[in-house]
Structure 1
């Protein structure tokens, strides 16, 4: 079962957010193979925030792009081992899990380095007369040598010399120093002498029992006693495997990937480095997998459904890499490209939610009170409470039906919603401009039109600041021109703020002379039906 992401356009409005939620709910009720998840491509505006809070529906998660990422690849699971674990434990993991590379992590599971089969095998071929250059948890000896603790003490770290009692008593006494580790068989006199001399660890080989007076002396002198089943020769050979794996891990020139890295970046990196495996880390830097070259030969692209838009410039970053399953929209058809035939519903109604209600009705499904409320709000928003020329009888019928299910009065709710959404208090020029901004590329022209609904005339200083912001944006992003519609919903009039060098085109489109940086069009409230078509017509006439 995979996830399908449902989203509207960038700089989402109420229809874009609410329709994504409503259609996801419909698909989850009617389809069981996948899980449909509503997401957003930008911040929700105040109007939409009001609607979501009114119906107690959470804000959809933000999706910054739909590029194919490492998280979309079926990579291998990780083999992680603590940095203080022994070589013996590392070797067992490598053999049992049949891997060649393991991740070394700290106590919090965060990545510290890598160890390979070759790194661990090398230690197996080495012998050591002491651990003075290592810090070894004493419990590593117990695990590596399959030992039994006869005298325990709090967990400690051993770092010192290893003495093997394979000589005369006097020779052993001369060699032993305080803090050493002694390996000895069933030689009681050596055991007693050693613990009284201050050794830190006594390892008794051959599975021999240790007499009580030796154990008592060990407790008195703060020495740990471990009984192991191996003979002295094998114990000496195996003890080297108690060294913590962190001493052999690679920490330099280690290349790792994050779950949100794109497939293009992964391919480019793999060309530079010829490593066999690459660790995959989550946002907390914890290893969650291992990625190899063969994994990137076959992967699944993100599955998406577009609502309230169909143009690439208005959709998510990386949409060309996504697998578009459906498009539900009420705008002009731009340039969608898909590899397979898809469901594409595009109808000349005032709101996407009107189309989505039709899907519910065809399956005899009554939306919940919350979903009905969201769809009704979307219709009221997009049709400006039925005043927009884009509004159809279908929108009116749908809104009234949904209002009944949601238990709201259209006039009262709509006015409260618009009042909540039109306040510009506390907003920056950037926030205002991008409340509902759309970019268009028609012929050789690149332009953008933003729309903000207001209940009152905006003060001149704010307009001047908006024009300055628009001019800067036009220059930096190389737009031919930019428009900002300040739409008075009640009086059905829009004031346009304009920046650019194509005043003749604007005059051709709307029949007005642009003096300064603004002009007013009475009766114009719809960007989609009353503004964009006229600009396109003017561009085509010039071309």
Structure 2
């Protein structure tokens, strides 16, 4: 059996692409099962409901010595315990090549596109005999719209737009209405505890000698989270201790202004104050390279 999963604290791309990749692998008689590495966020639940799909089961078994297929990540720090001792036989991703090292050759697709779902759709479009269902088309379309923030993100490529156009036809949804509903779900933080709000979209990185977490909260405007900042910063300090981090970075992004406010935990080597950055909405293409440069790596 192949365990297929995306990264810890899964976002919509991680969950939706995992579901579709698992279906494709089973079409190829690979005996694959989809899993998730965390709770489903409101946006992803919206997509699962629209597509009439159930979320993958939570990964609870040991993967040491087991066959696994990674979706939407290649950083060991973003995977489950035992990943370094598993047999990674496949990888589909759109991020930088991370700290993954494999014992054997693997099937790997890594492309500079805005969403893993875009790459998954490209793979499936070339697969003889495979038909993408309207339900799975909704999942991949939702993943693309989520990761590219409705094509606002600088990570968006022409391939993302073309894939979304094709998936809109297959799924039969109204693109404008669907995008609006998705972005409303993306920025819905009501009912989330401070802990869950911080964990909703955080990723672990090792940058040089620094072990850090980069979290992102996307809101319609900064006022939506203003009264929670003090508690969020306190929780960041706790996480530095509990997760043995060098420091923690929180990126709060206003989708209405395309600005981000960057908060740092204490004793970090980058900034003692909160930074506001214009035209910054991508953690992958903007914050991570900026932080890497700031750390002199």
Report TM bin, short chain.
over 0.9
Preserved CA contact (<8 Å) 1:66 1:319: no
Provide Cα deviations, 1:144-165, integer angstroms capped at 9, x if missing partner: xxxxxxxxxxxxxxxxxxxxxx
The number of equivalent residue pairs is 295
- The answer for the alignment partner of 1:47 in structure 2 is 43
What 5-or-longer segments of structure 2 have no aligned partner? none
Structure 2 residue matching 1:540: 3-state secondary structure: coil
- The answer for the alignment partner of 2:255 in structure 1 is 489
Of the candidates 53, 57, 60, which is equivalent to residue 53 of structure 2?
Answer: 57
| Shift, 1:491, TM fit | 2.0
Of the candidates 424, 443, 454, which is equivalent to residue 208 of structure 2?
Answer: 443
- The answer for the alignment partner of 2:80 in structure 1 is 316
- The answer for the alignment partner of 2:181 in structure 1 is 416
1:456 maps onto 2:221 in alignment:
yes
In the aligned structure 2, how far is the partner of 1:491 from the partner of 1:411?
20
Change (3 A) 1:305 1:67: closer
The within-5 A match list for 1:283-432 is: 301-364=65-128, 365-432=130-197
In the aligned structure 1, how far is the partner of 2:7 from the partner of 2:231?
26
Preserved CA contact (<8 Å) 1:486 1:496: yes
Q: TM-score, normalised by structure 1?
A: 0.53
- The answer for the alignment partner of 1:20 in structure 2 is 18
Preserved CA contact (<8 Å) 2:221 2:255: no
| Shift, 1:486, TM fit | 1.5
In the aligned structure 2, how far is the partner of 1:65 from the partner of 1:439?
22
Preserved CA contact (<8 Å) 1:4 1:36: yes
Preserved CA contact (<8 Å) 1:7 1:40: yes
Preserved CA contact (<8 Å) 1:440 1:448: yes
1:468 maps onto 2:224 in alignment:
no
In the aligned structure 1, how far is the partner of 2:161 from the partner of 2:184?
21
| Shift, 1:316, TM fit | 1.5
In the aligned structure 2, how far is the partner of 1:61 from the partner of 1:417?
23
Preserved CA contact (<8 Å) 1:66 1:322: no
The within-5 A match list for 1:143-158 is: none
In the aligned structure 2, how far is the partner of 1:471 from the partner of 1:381?
29
The within-5 A match list for 1:242-261 is: none
In the aligned structure 2, how far is the partner of 1:311 from the partner of 1:65?
20
| Shift, 1:460, TM fit | 3.2
Change (3 A) 1:459 1:45: closer
Structure 1 residue matching 2:162: 3-state secondary structure: helix
| Shift, 1:499, TM fit | 1.1
In the aligned structure 2, how far is the partner of 1:324 from the partner of 1:389?
31
Alignment RMSD, CA only?
A: 1.5
| Shift, 1:459, TM fit | 4.4
1:8 maps onto 2:10 in alignment:
no
Provide Cα deviations, 1:111-132, integer angstroms capped at 9, x if missing partner: xxxxxxxxxxxxxxxxxxxxxx
- The answer for the alignment partner of 1:120 in structure 2 is none
In the aligned structure 2, how far is the partner of 1:361 from the partner of 1:440?
33
- The answer for the alignment partner of 1:232 in structure 2 is none
In the aligned structure 1, how far is the partner of 2:259 from the partner of 2:33?
38
Preserved CA contact (<8 Å) 2:248 2:264: yes
